[in-house]
Amino acid sequence: MKTKAEMKVLVLNSGSSSVKYQFIDLKDRVVLAKGLIDRVGMSDSVVTHERYDGDKIKISAEVLDHQTAIEYVLAVLLSKNHGVIQDKTEIDAVGHRVVHGGESFSESVLVDEKVMDEVRENIELAPLHNPHNLRGIQAVLKHLPGTPQVAVFDTAFHQKMPPYAFLYGIPYLLYRRYKIRRYGFHGTSHFYVSRRAAELLGKPIEKLKLITTHLGNGCSMAAVDGGVSVDTSMGFTPLEGLLMGTRSGDLDPQIILHIVGREGLSLAEANTLLNKHSGLLGISGLTSDMREIITEKKAGNKQAELAFEVFTYRIRKYIGSYAAVMGGVDAIVFTGGIGENSPDVRAESCKGLEFLGVSIDAGRNNSEEKEKLISADSSKVKVFALPTNEELVIALDTARIVEGARHPAAHPDHQRDGISSGKVEHEKINSNR
Ligand code: ADP
């Protein structure tokens, strides 16, 4: 029987209209293949598949449900010309990204009927995500019966937040009745980059105060004290906190009541307004894409400049508050599509923080390196830009949980693995984030 370090794990991210996958060999930490089934539920779906050696295919298909999507994933992995396995049994385990674990899960877990019921129960907290995550699990159950499955939750890393950080100032009864509290998301990414930063600093995570900043289409920050997420900017839903591509982030709740009254919006329309028409897109009136915002700003577009300023100002504000709640900060990490790739956003977000001991080195910040220290040598607080790797965390967690379930006595502590024995080779195959 294979040990966790020898397993090949299929990582699945099943969304409403897409299924993303990576097949990772943990022995060499290599992504053997990865791809995307896009437009699930439509007749003009597209399957894209890429092998570790750069071989790529794109197929048009009709993928009407998640069952069919998983059939395609298996078919391309098994394909004679483009695949990487000869038999399904070479898939040792399947790890699923599950968005909402509610208060039920502060850890990844081996999937069984009871776990599926709990994921189902948490649908009311994440109606746009959990149903599809569950469909992915059910499809694997059908097509790979007997293969162990593990659920890795976006919320789990934040479950150790203290009540004073997760409670809202509304009647406590509403927390008890409807579980209304801060949950936080992007937990797998905050976990990964906090551990990676500790490795780069050469210090145990238990001794560090870190601020992690995940800036993608969705954006969130976390205060990671001693390895534990003690606060995070997303809340009951991923709408709260930073300004995002199309989401408003923090706002006075009264605004919603005001707009609903003034504009005669339905609740569904208000939901769309805050989640789809706000953020960078809402302020710029142009785009939710940070690259375009920066190009337009440089071309003199004032609305794009405003959107950029609101975006970076809010990050700066959160850096200040997280340094305050932790009583200091050793390092700040930027990750996600924007955090990894935009020197402009990183520099502007850290502007004026010299009083905290933050000083950015322009040369390092603008360098082409993917994983880099961007602070000056004189900077008391180290600042990093690090590529995130949620798939690797999911694969490692999956292998650890599967091995732990086989030999429970040998793994009493259920500690998550570090990531120290190496990274998945980004150079061989770029992450699709
Ligand atoms: P998701 O949250 O959907 O995974 P990503 O993490 O890929 O998204 O981030 C997407 C965002 O990253 C977009 O706003 C995109 O404009 C931004 N981005 C990607 N490359 C750059 C770049 N070179 N400069 C600025 N922003 C970038």
* 9 CB-side CA count, 13 A: 35
Average pLDDT, the chain: 93
In a domain, 257, yes or no: yes
Asked whether the predicted pLDDT for residue 42 surpasses 60, the reply is yes
Same domain for 334 and 214:
yes
| Domain carrying residue 244 | 203-385
Of 199, 203, 200, 240, nearest in space to 219 by CA? 240
Whole-angstrom Cα distance, residue 97 to residue 153?
Answer: 6
In a domain, 194, yes or no: no
* Number of domains comprising the chain: 2
pLDDT digits (tens, 9 = 90+) for 199-255: 999 999 999 999 999 999 999 999 999 999 999 999 999 999 999 999 999 999 999
In a domain, 338, yes or no: yes
Same domain for 209 and 153:
no
15, two tokens: 């969304």
Q: Is 276 in the pocket of ligand 1 (CB under 6 A)?
A: no
Q: Whose CA is nearest to atom 12 of ligand 1?
A: 337
Measured in Å, residue 387 CA sits from the centre of ligand 1 at 12
CB atoms within 10 A of CB 154: 26
In a domain, 249, yes or no: yes
Q: Is 291 in the pocket of ligand 1 (CB under 6 A)?
A: yes
Instruction: List Cβ neighbours of 395 (8 Å cut-off, separation of 6 or more).
Output: 9, 11, 22, 24, 26, 95
In a domain, 174, yes or no: no
Sign of CA dihedral 409, 96, 250, 305: positive
Same domain for 297 and 152:
no
Q: Is 154 a catalytic residue?
A: yes
Same domain for 402 and 379:
no
Q: Whose CA is nearest to atom 23 of ligand 1?
A: 341
Predicted confidence at residue 420, as pLDDT, reads 57
128 vs 350 pLDDT, higher one: 350
Ligand 1 atom nearest 214 alpha carbon: 6
Ligand 1 atom nearest 336 alpha carbon: 6
Q: Whose CA is nearest to atom 24 of ligand 1?
A: 342
Helices 390-406 and 187-201 pack at an angle, to 10 degrees, of 90
Whether residue 310 contacts residue 317, with contact meaning beta carbons closer than 8 Å, is answered with no
**Residue 248: in which H helix or E strand, if any?**
none
Same domain for 271 and 248:
yes
In a domain, 113, yes or no: yes
Which residue type sits at 88? K
Whole-angstrom Cα distance, residue 19 to residue 328?
Answer: 40
In a domain, 171, yes or no: no
416: DSSP letter = P
Annotated catalytic residue: which of 25, 38, 154, 225?
154
Measured in Å, residue 412 CA sits from the centre of ligand 1 at 40
pTM (two decimals): 0.92
pLDDT digits (tens, 9 = 90+) for 110-122: 999 999 999 999 9
Phi, psi of 311 (to 5 degrees): -60, -50
Measured in Å, residue 335 CA sits from the centre of ligand 1 at 10
Same domain for 420 and 377:
no
Q: Strand order in 30-38's β-sheet?
A: 56-63, 42-51, 30-38, 18-25, 8-14, 93-98, 149-153, 109-110
Sequential DSSP letters for 191-244:
HHHHHHHHHHHTS-GGG-EEEEEEESSSEEEEEEETTEEEEES--SSTTSSS--
Same domain for 376 and 349:
yes
The CATH number of the domain holding residue 397 is: 3.30.420.40
Asked whether the predicted pLDDT for residue 421 surpasses 60, the reply is no
Same domain for 143 and 247:
no
pLDDT digits (tens, 9 = 90+) for 296-334: 999 999 999 999 999 999 999 999 999 999 999 999 999
Same domain for 313 and 221:
yes
Q: Whose CA is nearest to atom 27 of ligand 1?
A: 338
Same domain for 426 and 358:
no
Residue that finishes a domain, picked among 349, 367, 385: 385
In a domain, 188, yes or no: no
Measured in Å, residue 334 CA sits from the centre of ligand 1 at 12
Whether residue 75 contacts residue 56, with contact meaning beta carbons closer than 8 Å, is answered with no
Measured in Å, residue 338 CA sits from the centre of ligand 1 at 4
Same domain for 380 and 257:
yes
Whole-angstrom Cα distance, residue 430 to residue 433?
Answer: 9
Burial class (CB in 10 A: 0-12, 13-18, 19+), 377: exposed
Percent of the chain's residues with pLDDT above 90: 90
Same domain for 85 and 224:
no
Predicted confidence at residue 429, as pLDDT, reads 36
What is the maximum span of the chain, computed from C-alpha positions, in angstroms? 65
